Structure 1
């Protein structure tokens, strides 16, 4: 099976408002060679197994998942397990030269699957093909913006969504947004927008309260002291309880108060939710995609270590993953972030140099966000199989989506 040999690669799809509307899932590759039918099929099988639940169904809310496929897989059993309304199948333009493939694509569209066309010259597409697709990949050319704007204006009047690829700068993203394009952004979302450099830096009032709470939790302070601090901001109290009650935490009994949370969970799990709350309380250039990435990374790192480390250590991995993007979320240097809150030494080592006990786990989670050759050696050093890494990756994505959905 390919998921035993390749690592999942996740790339976010942003709409013009910088909101995450979906992901492309693929296998990491060392070269640009096309994936074989067997490799594409194994991806379908793995995604279907991870994102469908017998009791609750589709696990990713309203997110779209883009998956490359080929004509040989149009009737694959795994494809039938994926909900058509959430799946966009990416196919190459060359496939549509075959009449039987055209008919098969018509059938997929009739079933409700989205079809994204890759490698097409949009100036040369006839109405037959345009009537079959829901999305089309385009390549932004900043040097030819005016003519592209005229060309894309035609598509803006149709139901076909244009999807830009290889968007590597925020200037190019803004150009795509102006044209009404959605965009796959690779690792661009990990780079702060240039205008954030001019925004006020520092910890705001809400974050000051959260940091005080984190310090009290770390010291196992009396519950009344925590409640006294939290009473300063009723909004924070409400949002904290929303996070704790999120479907991602798996509680059957709704938490009604901080006291109730401590009684059911103890002190240690509160720290994770306060770290999430600290990031979402940012007032400087808040980025939904960066926030989601931080939550996925935190949970991913935690799951990678959950079988080999004690429970408390795995909790620290979540905090390390969250804090690894906190400097960008808060628009302050990492050293300053760490000066505002006392973290375990091992967490600090991971954040500053990807060293210590937690460093390799955090590095592995990061490597799986990119097409990084380091993922294999890191997983091997931690004695984690490729399949277990992939399962943890997609499980973390589901968990983060449940958390986000619970607080909308």
Structure 2
């Protein structure tokens, strides 16, 4: 499975739009081939190997991992490599008709694993199910909101948590939050909330863009420091990012000059890109920022397999910029008019074409569960195993960086 299946993800959000975990599922170029226990075991071992460290433990901290669970996955030994308190298996209601599956669920619950029930109608669900599950998937029906509100209020009295799927718009999201649903799975976060108040870049963003242009032209470090000193908060945040676990530096960077001496100009440019996104006053959601960081790092890691490191670093910038309009609440053409990007980055952003476009498109496809994942990887001559390794590494890297925001 590691060689033939691609990992795709959806973020799991809380009512404040914070990323509290991810739902993983597997996409195959040949869906007709059913996965056996051995192949599932190998896949889970692979995923666990990238999300665990012998010294640091689980690398996604307190994040939850929801795994699509066919019945055979319940018996897989590789599942035990995942921390029980962080792991929730999604199982369809129909699979509870098999006594062997129920016995396996009981064993996993005793070990501390979570079980999310899918395909159940809450209004007619037997109370006996509550002994087996920790989460229940629900779908908001805006036309029957009042009736649903009563059902959810009743369910809230139990220990079972509700996970909303297919929330279509921000109005529905707010309605679900009001009903005290615990978490949300889906792609709504890629549609930013409307914010008519944003008319132009704020002063911090203007300063950051000026710094980015100076770095691009390899301006003298003393000139850069003069600009940074205008905004003490900006300087503090920039050093926090550079010293974050995302870079893995052994020596703490004390100043901008020290950063340039240790790292050079190119890595500094990427952190300014992240800083630009976090300087927004448009009320962007934390999940959108984390998605941009994952996309940028994922694309960069894919690029490192085929091009020099310095070239691949441009892919990080392309990944961040691909969501920058939503993060800043401004039109993309206005943002791109404010800074000179390499032509190859511009082409990738506009059409997903050129040298960088396919790498950015592949990273994007894995977060959208697009059926183009396999064909894009094949066009780049990157194996499913390498794509999955880059994907998981990007998630861990972004988690460390996002924690600094």
TM-score by length of 2: 0.94
Seen in structure 2, the aligned counterparts of structure 1 residues 43 and 163 have a Cα distance that, compared at 3 Å, is: farther
Q: Matched residues in 2 for 1:61 and 1:207: separation? A: 31
String of CA shifts for 1:317-347, please: whole Å, max 9, x gaps.
Answer: 1001100110111111111111111111111
Worse-matched range after superposition: 124-133 or 167-176: 124-133
Unaligned runs of 5+ in 2: none
Quote how far apart the aligned CAs of 1:252 are: 1.0
Seen in structure 2, the aligned counterparts of structure 1 residues 87 and 19 have a Cα distance that, compared at 3 Å, is: same
Quote how far apart the aligned CAs of 1:70 are: 3.8
Residue equivalent to 1:175: 175
Seen in structure 2, the aligned counterparts of structure 1 residues 347 and 139 have a Cα distance that, compared at 3 Å, is: same
2:192–2:284 contact (8 Å) kept in structure 1: no
Q: Matched residues in 1 for 2:361 and 2:166: separation? A: 24
Quote how far apart the aligned CAs of 1:224 are: 0.9
| Equivalence map 1:194-233=2 (5 Å) | 195-196=194-195, 198-233=196-231
Residue equivalent to 1:11: 10
* 2:287 paired with 1:307: no
Name the SS of the counterpart of 1:340 in structure 2.
coil
Give the one of 327, 343, 346 matched to 2:325: 327
Quote how far apart the aligned CAs of 1:382 are: 1.4
Give the one of 264, 270, 273 matched to 1:275: 273
Name the SS of the counterpart of 2:12 in structure 1.
strand
Unaligned runs of 5+ in 1: none
Q: Matched residues in 2 for 1:21 and 1:72: separation? A: 27
Residue equivalent to 1:144: 144
Quote how far apart the aligned CAs of 1:41 are: 4.2
1:202–1:330 contact (8 Å) kept in structure 2: no
Q: Matched residues in 2 for 1:87 and 1:50: separation? A: 15
Give the one of 281, 290, 293 matched to 1:292: 290
2:52–2:59 contact (8 Å) kept in structure 1: yes
* 2:380 paired with 1:378: no
Quote how far apart the aligned CAs of 1:350 are: 1.1
Residue equivalent to 1:257: 255
1:11–1:184 contact (8 Å) kept in structure 2: no
Q: Matched residues in 2 for 1:62 and 1:83: separation? A: 10
Name the SS of the counterpart of 2:369 in structure 1.
coil
Worse-matched range after superposition: 269-278 or 200-209: 200-209
2:4–2:28 contact (8 Å) kept in structure 1: no
Name the SS of the counterpart of 2:21 in structure 1.
strand
Quote how far apart the aligned CAs of 1:36 are: 4.1
Worse-matched range after superposition: 173-182 or 296-305: 173-182
String of CA shifts for 1:236-286, please: whole Å, max 9, x gaps.
Answer: 111111111111111111111111111111111100000000001000122
Q: Matched residues in 2 for 1:222 and 1:386: separation? A: 43
Worse-matched range after superposition: 112-121 or 367-376: 367-376
Q: Matched residues in 1 for 2:278 and 2:69: separation? A: 37
2:5–2:29 contact (8 Å) kept in structure 1: no
Quote how far apart the aligned CAs of 1:58 are: 0.7
Quote how far apart the aligned CAs of 1:28 are: 2.6
1:117–1:133 contact (8 Å) kept in structure 2: yes
Seen in structure 2, the aligned counterparts of structure 1 residues 131 and 34 have a Cα distance that, compared at 3 Å, is: farther
Seen in structure 2, the aligned counterparts of structure 1 residues 347 and 104 have a Cα distance that, compared at 3 Å, is: same
| Equivalence map 1:350-365=2 (5 Å) | 350-365=348-363
Q: Matched residues in 2 for 1:173 and 1:43: separation? A: 33
* 2:364 paired with 1:366: yes
1:13–1:185 contact (8 Å) kept in structure 2: yes
Quote how far apart the aligned CAs of 1:40 are: 4.8
Seen in structure 2, the aligned counterparts of structure 1 residues 185 and 77 have a Cα distance that, compared at 3 Å, is: closer
* 2:81 paired with 1:81: yes
1:354–1:360 contact (8 Å) kept in structure 2: yes
TM-score by length of 1: 0.94
Worse-matched range after superposition: 264-273 or 175-184: 175-184
Residue equivalent to 1:103: 103
Q: Matched residues in 2 for 1:226 and 1:309: separation? A: 29
Q: Matched residues in 2 for 1:34 and 1:370: separation? A: 22
Quote how far apart the aligned CAs of 1:121 are: 2.3
The number of equivalent residue pairs is 404
Residue equivalent to 1:242: 240
Name the SS of the counterpart of 1:247 in structure 2.
coil
Q: Matched residues in 2 for 1:404 and 1:208: separation? A: 22
